[in-house]
Amino acid sequence: MRLSAKLAHVGAAAPAVEALVAAGCERSAIEIYSNEPVELPPGSLDRPSRMSLYAVLGAIINGTAATAFMFWTQQDYPLPTGGMPLISGWATAVVSFEMAMAGAIAGTLIGLLWEAKLVWRTPEGPPQVLDGDAIIIEAPVEEAVRERAAAFLHEAGAVKIAWREERQ
């Protein structure tokens, strides 16, 4: 069964998570939907993120690609530098830096789209959240612990609880 509970306010989110975990829900399967970011204490619903890795990787890849591009193209073409060295590393370092930053931006964007499951892997969610003021916690709950989960949630401050069949 899939449980969907409406919470009164953002402060109720952390106790609600603990309530569901105590009732036997898997922590990583719990989702909270809201119209604003919900502050949860560390350990509550940690979502490990690799976005900084993507950003750094993007920077390194694009930076070296830009430098290599300049290096190879400036050697390949018979450039009329008239005595200036074909490749001046220091003079073109700025271009490498800017392209590295562009790579970091791209890495961050890709990381965001991937981890937030935007664009192509978007999961369903309660749409009324987007209208504002609703904070809804959802989790898959075993049939057996259904009553316990509901009871714990009410204690934690849930305002409404609803159930539906788990979708395949």
26 part of the interface to another protein, by CB under 8 A: no
How many residues line the site for another protein (CB under 8 A)? 77
Least distance between another protein and beta carbon 60 (Å): 14
Nearest Cα residue to 128 out of 38, 11, 34:
34
Instruction: State how far the Cα of 4 lies from the Cα of 136, in Å rounded to an integer.
Output: 7
What residues between 45 and 64 interact with another protein by CB under 8 A?
45, 47, 49, 51-52, 55
Tokens of 136: 């809804």
Least distance between another protein and beta carbon 111 (Å): 7
Least distance between another protein and beta carbon 137 (Å): 9
133 Rama class: left (phi>0) / alpha (psi -120 to 50) / beta: left
79 part of the interface to another protein, by CB under 8 A: yes
42 part of the interface to another protein, by CB under 8 A: no
Give me the helix-helix angle, 89-115 and 51-76, nearest 10°: 140
Least distance between another protein and beta carbon 9 (Å): 5
Do 61 and 166 contact (CB within 8 A), yes or no?
no
